Amino acid sequence: MSSNHYSENQLRKYSLKLDKIPKLNYNDPKVDEYISSNEPVVIQGCDLVASANSWDLDYLKRKMMGKYTVILSQNHKFKYHDEKKIQSCKTDFKPTTRRVQMKFSEFVDKIKNWKKNDERLYLQQVLDNSVGISIVQDFVKFNWNWITEKQIKNNWGSLTSNLLLVSMEGNVTPCHYDEQQNFYAQVKGYKRIILFRPSQFKCLYPHPVYHPYDRQSQVDFEKPDYNRFPNFKDACGFETVLEPGEVLYIPMYWFHHVESLLRGGYTISINFWYKAGPTGQIVYPLKDYQKVAIMRNVEKMLNDALRDSTEVGTLLKTIVDGRYF
């Protein structure tokens, strides 16, 4: 993929079969068809975060006077871990990232003076009142009419949060899924996003639910271990390079990998996470994401009942071996 805004060599190389995600104008009726069927689509021209078009490092540095959440990583990967699951995790878990509170001015200085082998930085701050009145004023001018109409039309639950994402060039958020609907708005710079259907679960091997890396794929896309994860060679997904002003609908439970283009400068994005709507009438055959939710519940129930996560695999094998296979 390339355009006159970026080139192919700015995308990291993976051995994956990837189709393109369609890019449609916001008033194309097919946009609603994609969203209502939980299929990803890039939406152009909706001006969802047009009031943030002036956001750059200097503007944010002037307006954001507090301390904000910055993730530090020893490499270019920012694999999310759930702190609350660390102490109950039997294996000795060593996170590759750490979370600090940092003044925006310090964050800007560090990324402007970043040198090879320095820790990489990724600001990931919930947009709440702590970001200051100017940012809040830009926030209230987002195109809430458009996005609220989508929320209501698709019977989604409430907006849970917006993350302000300011990333160094080349940073990667490795493959994972979220249990929320997501409108992902690109403000500055270019981000490549790779998506897989929930049914690709068997090719992406997410960590166990009790693990701090719950929801995150175990597969290192840059160096896949095909002995441990043989189905990964069959993974097939979708990709897009999101441009400023575009919005990607990331359906809940869809796996996604996100990278800021190599040598593309820093990037700014804002996501909009919505709770899933009420399940309502169960319709068969079940959707792939419903089966992922069922698998999660089985793991949770077994973990709670056995009180020992190392027994879950053995018990599941006992159920399946020679009986279901």
Which residue of 142, 183, 184, 249 would you call a contact of ligand ROQ, by CB under 6 A? 184
Specify the residue, 16 or 134, whose C-beta has the smaller distance to ligand ROQ: 16
What ranges make up the beta strands (E) of 85-134?
97-103, 120-126
**Quick check: 240 and 193 in contact, CB under 8 A?**
yes
Which residue of 165, 175, 185, 302 would you call a contact of ligand ROQ, by CB under 6 A? 165
Q: How far apart are CA 169 and CA 190, in angstroms?
A: 9
Q: Which stretch of DSSP H or E encloses residue 63?
A: helix 57-63
**Which one of the spans 8-16, 178-186, 240-248, 302-310 is the region binding Zn ion (CB under 5 A)?**
178-186
Which residue of 121, 271, 289, 312 would you call a contact of ligand ROQ, by CB under 6 A? 271
Q: Per CB under 6 A, does 175 bind ligand ROQ?
A: no
- Alpha-carbon distances of 150 from 15, 114, 252, 274, rounded to whole Å: 35, 40, 15, 11
Residues 6+ apart with CB under 8 A from 116: none
**Which one of the spans 111-119, 152-160, 177-185, 280-288 is the region binding ligand ROQ (CB under 6 A)?**
177-185
Q: Where are the alpha helices (DSSP H) in 209-308?
A: 288-306
Name which of residues 190 to 249 contact ligand ROQ (CB under 6 A).
none
Task: Report the partner that residue 258 touches, choosing among Zn ion, ligand ROQ, none (CB closer than 5 to 8 A by kind).
Answer: ligand ROQ
Which residue of 258, 261, 270, 302 would you call a contact of ligand ROQ, by CB under 6 A? 258
**Which one of the spans 81-89, 104-112, 178-186, 234-242 is the region binding ligand ROQ (CB under 6 A)?**
178-186
- Alpha-carbon distances of 175 from 59, 109, 159, 201, rounded to whole Å: 31, 29, 23, 11
Which residue of 178, 179, 243, 288 would you call a contact of ligand ROQ, by CB under 6 A? 178
Site string for ligand ROQ, 13-52 (x = CB under 6 A): ----------------------------------------
Give the type of residue at 317: K
SS3 237: strand
Q: Which stretch of DSSP H or E encloses residue 163?
A: strand 159-167
Q: Which residues bind Zn ion (CB under 5 A)?
A: 178
Q: Which residues bind ligand ROQ (CB under 6 A)?
A: 163, 165, 173, 178, 182, 184, 256, 258, 269, 271
